[in-house]
Structure 1
Amino acid sequence: MSIDIPAGRYAIDPVHSFLQFATRFVGARVRGRFSGLSGTLEIAEDLAKSSVQAQIDVATLSTGVGERDDHLRSADYFDAASHPVATFASNGLVADGDRFLLAGDLTIRGTIRPVELEVRFTGDGEDQTGTFRMGFTASGRVSRSAFGVNGNVSKVGGPLLIGDATDITLELQATRES
């Protein structure tokens, strides 16, 4: 199956893009999101040569609970004061049917780790102002402790209450640069 994605340079639209995360906390999944995304997509004629550079404003983290959000931004977790931006830089793209596998380096708290995201192209077209846009959904799983996001609580001698595996999902919209 061939997907027609128009080549060009695109800017991530921060108004229509976000990164959502979910992790276990005492048996339930806690979800949150980062709304401050920026960056560029370079879509090449040969899609395998395409690239993504993205920045995530850690201060935009929101779980809907202010006290928890402040704690997650603290040095116990993301340490937003010392590391206000997380980044992603791709280094490989492989087509796999109607999806793509995007490899890259994710940097959180100054720690760089390789990650792989499953990406799906969700469509394109001109908006009401004539701006050409395209959309993507990407998902993957990361180990929060691999990035030094270690904050956890437990009863003495008991199990850790917060899971290490964190699922991430990006909803991304990008606009063609002139």
Structure 2
Amino acid sequence: MTTALALPGLTTGTWVIDPVHSTVGFSVRHLMVSKVRGTFDDFSGVITVPDAGEPSVEASIAVASIDTRNADRDAHIASADFFDAEQYPTARFASTGLRAAGTNLVLEGDFTLHGVTRPIALTLDFHGVNPGVGQGEVAGFETTAVINRKDFGISIDMPLEGGGAVVGDKVTLTLEIEAVRQS
């Protein structure tokens, strides 16, 4: 698969994630009956498209920048009970490959959270490239992935009296990314 086939219009150069026009979000089961949703407000990333070969992605998230619209909950999630943001302030993603899977693209990489690195695969929805409005070309992507928090050493158990747990193990990550071509 060539870059031109995989990502039409994504030209050679460095594309920087625009945090003003991007969202890094998540949802997790709460009390077995609903979901808590949140975002991370401090994140960055770079997509590098070489002359030959496949694009690569490196991104980071400041885990203490969590926002679930509840300051007490955010502080608890940033604490040693969950993220331990003091010891592990940053989650990171570094791509290891891009492949076709039917009509989809899959970006594979290593995701590090809470000091634990695991491979993950992100099925990409590439929205294309636009000339932009004065800042240069922009490219858009969306992806959703499900991870198990316990796979990353976030193993707090908060059981409910009637069974189940306050917080689910599966976390759905949702990324809506707009990247601006720098060079």
Confirm or deny a common fold (TM above 0.5): yes
Residue 146 of structure 2 corresponds to which residue in structure 1?
Answer: 141
The match for 1:4 is: 8
Identity of aligned residues (%): 37
Question: Which of 113, 116, 129 is equivalent to 2:118?
Answer: 113
Q: Cα offset for 1:120?
A: 0.9
Could you tell me how far 1:54 is from its partner in structure 2? 0.3
**1:69 Cα offset (Å):** 0.6
- Which runs of structure 1 show a deviation greater than 4 angstroms over 4 or more consecutive aligned residues? 44-47
Give the corresponding residue for 1:165.
170
Consecutive unaligned residues of structure 1, counting only runs of 5 or more, are none
Aligned counterparts of 1:67 and 1:152: Cα–Cα separation in 2? 18
Native 8 Å contact 2:116 2:152 kept in 1: yes
Q: SS of the counterpart of 1:76?
A: coil
Deviation string, structure 1 residues 139-168 (Cα, Å, up to 9, x no partner): 111010111122231246843222111111
**What are the equivalent positions in structure 2 for 1:96-107 lying under 5 Å apart?**
96-107=101-112
- CA distance in 1 between partners of 2:135 and 2:43 (Å): 23
Name the CA distance, whole Å, in 2 between partners of 1:25 and 1:46: 46
Pairing partner for 1:65 from 56, 64, 70: 70
What residue number does 2:18 align with? 13
Q: Alpha carbon RMSD of aligned pairs, Å?
A: 1.8
**Displacement of 1:128 after TM fit?**
2.2
Residue-by-residue CA offset, 1:3-55 (whole Å, 9 max, x unaligned): 513222211112212211111111211111112221210134667x2111000
Number of aligned positions between the proteins: 176
CA contact (8 A) 1:98 1:120 kept: no
TM-score using structure 2 length: 0.88
CA contact (8 A) 1:93 1:103 kept: yes
TM-score (ref. length: structure 1): 0.90
